[in-house]
Amino acid sequence: MLGFSRRSPKKASKNSLEIFDQYEQAKPAHQNAVDALQGWNCAFPPALKLTAGKLPLYADDRIAWALQTFGSIKGKAVLEVGPLEGMHTHMLNGQRPARIDSIEANRLCFLRCLITKQILNIDTAAFMLGDIQAWLTEHEEVYDFALASGVLYHMPDPGEFLRLLAKRCNAVFIWTHFVLEEAMPADDVRRLPFSGKVETKMINDIPVRYYERSYHHANANASFCGGMKDRHFWMHRDDILTLLREFGFDEITIRDEDLNHPGGPSFSLLARKAPANT
């Protein structure tokens, strides 16, 4: 007879009684979702009693300052570049924008953002996986406010990123590391990831200094949240400000400048374009 075997049925193996690894056996809980992905950098609000990462970015004073300085984003269109694990998105969502387009290139970070969205009920944001520069090039909308925290210094072409971003937003908050020779002399250990090569790139006919840097295989760690390419560049502090002004950001407010940051000199700024005459 076709399709049937005359062999005696075998006894079920011990392993056949085990639940497959991809299934969760514990009582349904948010912690199970958090534990399903390794490498969390961010903590959740303490009231939720969840164990994840350590960074309390759900209450980041840099973002609170940006929102206070910019003004209300209620009903406005917001672009978020590099949401990491969605904690800054949570802060933006609390201000009730019309929507947040949140673009993340790191696959694991993107998946963590989806878990955060579920747990914190982030209902105005759409998280999308992909390259922000492709989005800025092909997407025509101009956003009221953009957030690019911890992004610029990971870029393989940071000046071009700023140029594209400036075309798609009327105001932007940036937190970034930068190069300032007097703050980071040659014997500073913070220079170790730099190759020593400095390139000059013309952006809108302005010479911009690019300082070559490497992650030195840090990307092998599940918690890695750097850029898409190992070869990336930091910009000089003065060049960042020069480009922002060149791109039409007439008002630049610097909140803080930490030349002793363990990762390298850094600052926060809000750059805003003057309203168009009507």
pLDDT of residue 37: 95
Residue 100 lies in a domain: yes
Query: Which has the closest alpha carbon to 146: 136, 134, 156, 138?
Result: 136
Residue 80 lies in a domain: yes
* Lookup: tokens for 183: 């703050």
Question: Going by C-beta distance under 8 Å and a sequence separation of 6 or more, which residues neighbour residue 12?
Answer: none
Q: Which of the four pLDDT bands, split at 50, 70 and 90, describes residue 3?
A: very low
Q: Is the pLDDT of residue 167 over 70?
A: yes
Angle (CA) 83 258 103, round 5°: 10
* Lookup: tokens for 18: 């085990």
CA 238 to chain centre: 23
Q: Which of the four pLDDT bands, split at 50, 70 and 90, describes residue 2?
A: very low
Tell me which of 220 and 261 has the higher pLDDT. 261
Q: Which residue has the tokens 């390298």?
A: 264
Residue 257 lies in a domain: yes
Each residue's pLDDT tens digit, 62-90: 999 999 999 999 999 999 999 999 999 99
CATH number at residue 68: 3.40.50.150
SS (H, E, C) 56-101: CHHHCHHHHHHHHHHCCCCCCEEEEECCCCCHHHHHHHCCCCCEEE
Distance, in Å, from the CA atom of 156 to the CA atom of 263, rounded to the nearest integer, reads 18
Distance, in Å, from the CA atom of 59 to the CA atom of 258, rounded to the nearest integer, reads 20
Distance, in Å, from the CA atom of 86 to the CA atom of 115, rounded to the nearest integer, reads 9
Q: Which of the four pLDDT bands, split at 50, 70 and 90, describes residue 20?
A: confident
Residue 18 lies in a domain: no
* Lookup: tokens for 160: 């071009």
Nearest 10 degrees: Cα torsion 247, 250, 254, 257: 40
* Lookup: tokens for 123: 């209902």
Residue 2 lies in a domain: no
Residue 146 lies in a domain: yes
Question: Going by C-beta distance under 8 Å and a sequence separation of 6 or more, which residues neighbour residue 172?
Answer: 145, 146, 147, 148, 165, 166, 249, 270, 271
Residue 138 lies in a domain: yes
- Does the model's pTM come out above 0.85? yes
What's the domain range around 83? 57-272
Residue 73 lies in a domain: yes
CA 175 to chain centre: 11
Total domains in the chain come to: 1
pLDDT of residue 92: 98
